[in-house]
Structure 1
Amino acid sequence: MIGCLCIHGFTGAPYEVEPLADYLRKHTDWEVRTPCLPGHEEAGSLKGIRFQKWIECAEQELEMLGRTCSEVYVIGFSMGGMIASYLAAKYPVSKLVLLSAAAYYVNPRQFMKDVRCIIEDKFRGLLEENEVYMRYRKKVTETPILAAFQFRRLVNYVKPRLPGITVPVLIVQGECDGIVPIKSAHYLYKKIGSEEKKLCFLPSSAHLICHGDDFEELAYETGNFLGVTSISQT
């Protein structure tokens, strides 16, 4: 039995990785888990949560998979990518997939493009229909400052451990990501110690890469990397 652990991002929830998790469930008989990290269960619950709790949660989920599975793959999105990297450096993970992994945070160039679109929609009276604006507003209004500090602590905690990753790695990055810059993917590719590693850029995808226009390509690349047999690219 193969197990696959999918870890969502900061201020997010399992829905961020659910499309890819569902794809894997549909095309395999693997045990696929998509836990919710501590403090992410509902709005306002991040207060007082330290980054170690997020790691501990992922470790517990990995341990549960290890009890019944001979191989375990880990997929991490955004901050979840950094947690997944930590697991791959410390535990006998077989393969690692990093989606918009947040070794760096906020892409200034794309962020300014998003801001311009927000301003234009505001003047047109369409602000409430702007998905980027709604996402940023939610993050700003519902994220405690100390929680954001814990996120940065997590990233700094994991970065020195990247050379210790030796398993095959697939790094996927959206080229229209206004949250995680492309340099994050290049940094991970350079620092991760694995001999077998691949960079994949999706031209039309923003930060929520599993919900983007390039999902078919993302699913194909991930499935091919993980050894899913019943896959096809349209």
Structure 2
Amino acid sequence: MPLLPGAEPFHHSGGPVGVLLVHGFTGSPQSMRPWADELAAAGYTVSLPLLPGHGTRWQDMQATRWEDWYAEADRAFAELAEKCEQVFVCALSMGGSLALRLAAQHGEAISGVVLVNPSVRSDNPASVLLPVLRHLVPSLPGVANDIALEGSTEVGYDRVPLHAAWSLGQLWRTVQAELPAVRQPVLLLHSPQDHVVSPANSELVLARISSTDVTELLLERSYHVATLDHDAELIFGASLDFIRRLVPTAAEDASAENHQG
């Protein structure tokens, strides 16, 4: 299947500090690309993979499960870890669940995690019907494009494939159980006005992770896809500050030299 315009994965070879970016459920790398470009411009090595079943048509997601999405994020992380001295993970929405699982699984190999409107639990009481409903109805109306900024558009599906939505619930349960194993520094940014993911998601993450270095920022002017919204620059700037604070000066210098060269 041809990719939707803008849904292509992105990679940039920069300095010895790597950043993995993970997009959300039914979304695509397009929602993270401006962020990836900012990180690349700062001299970091950047990886923004396309998760399986995404970026083409919603029907292609029906055959995929959370294990497939996680495996791709894990593969991209391993690739970065092989060539970089430090790796950070930045994520949006469901990508937040995948990032938290990476953090729980890989421990000190991940230097820090940046989460934007992370999705780690169900906000819809009807989700209890998914085990049966997914065999009767293939899809429901989509959740993409929750953006306050006029003229800003997310490249994502206009339908939610229900087999995949059911699997998303399995991912949430898995990640919730692993949250106490997350000990890395965390920067969590969330929108009070989010029509896709409730504030209870961020509250759950903050309550259960074991991290002692935690920063929480509110995205007052943005909806769910805040990376393409009014507060995008705030996200980019805060994440760069977060990474720079946690990277030894020598690595920063090498990254800057690499970028200039």
Instruction: Tell me whether the two structures share a fold, i.e. TM-score over 0.5.
Output: yes
Q: How does 1:90-169 map to 2 (within 5 A)?
A: 90-91=105-106, 92-106=109-123, 139=157, 142-169=159-186
Checking the alignment, whether the CA contact within 8 Å between 1:6 and 1:75 is kept in structure 2 is yes
RMSD, aligned CA = 2.3
For structure 2, the 5+ residue unaligned runs are 1-15, 126-144, 148-152, 246-251, 253-261
Q: 1:215 to 1:155 in 2, by over 3 A?
A: same
Look up the equivalent residue of 1:173 and give its one-letter code.
H
Aligned to 1:195: 212
TM-score (norm 2): 0.73
Look up the equivalent residue of 1:205 and give its one-letter code.
S
Look up the equivalent residue of 1:151 and give its one-letter code.
L
The alpha-carbon deviation at position 144 of structure 1 amounts to: 1.8
Q: Deviations over 1:158-189 (max 9, x none)?
A: 11101101110011101211111112112111
Look up the equivalent residue of 1:35 and give its one-letter code.
P
Look up the equivalent residue of 1:5 and give its one-letter code.
L
Distance 1:188 1:76 in 2: 14
Query: Which of 9, 25, 33 pairs up with 1:10?
Result: 25
The alpha-carbon deviation at position 20 of structure 1 amounts to: 1.1
Distance 1:211 1:198 in 2: 21
2:65 is the alignment partner of 1:50: yes
The alpha-carbon deviation at position 142 of structure 1 amounts to: 2.9
The alpha-carbon deviation at position 104 of structure 1 amounts to: 3.1
Query: Which of 8, 24, 45 pairs up with 1:31?
Result: 45
2:89 is the alignment partner of 1:74: yes
The alpha-carbon deviation at position 2 of structure 1 amounts to: 0.6
For structure 1, the 5+ residue unaligned runs are 109-130, 230-234
Checking the alignment, whether the CA contact within 8 Å between 2:146 and 2:223 is kept in structure 1 is no
Distance 2:90 2:212 in 1: 19
TM-score (norm 1): 0.81
The alpha-carbon deviation at position 105 of structure 1 amounts to: 4.4
The alpha-carbon deviation at position 48 of structure 1 amounts to: 1.4
Instruction: Kindly indicate which of the two structures has a greater share of residues assigned to helix.
Output: 1
Aligned residue pairs total 204
SS at match of 1:40: coil
Distance 2:224 2:146 in 1: 10
SS at match of 2:101: helix
Distance 2:97 2:79 in 1: 20
Distance 1:8 1:36 in 2: 8
Checking the alignment, whether the CA contact within 8 Å between 2:121 and 2:169 is kept in structure 1 is no
Distance 2:159 2:231 in 1: 29
SS at match of 2:61: coil
Provide the identity percentage: 29
Distance 2:238 2:205 in 1: 18
Aligned to 1:224: 241
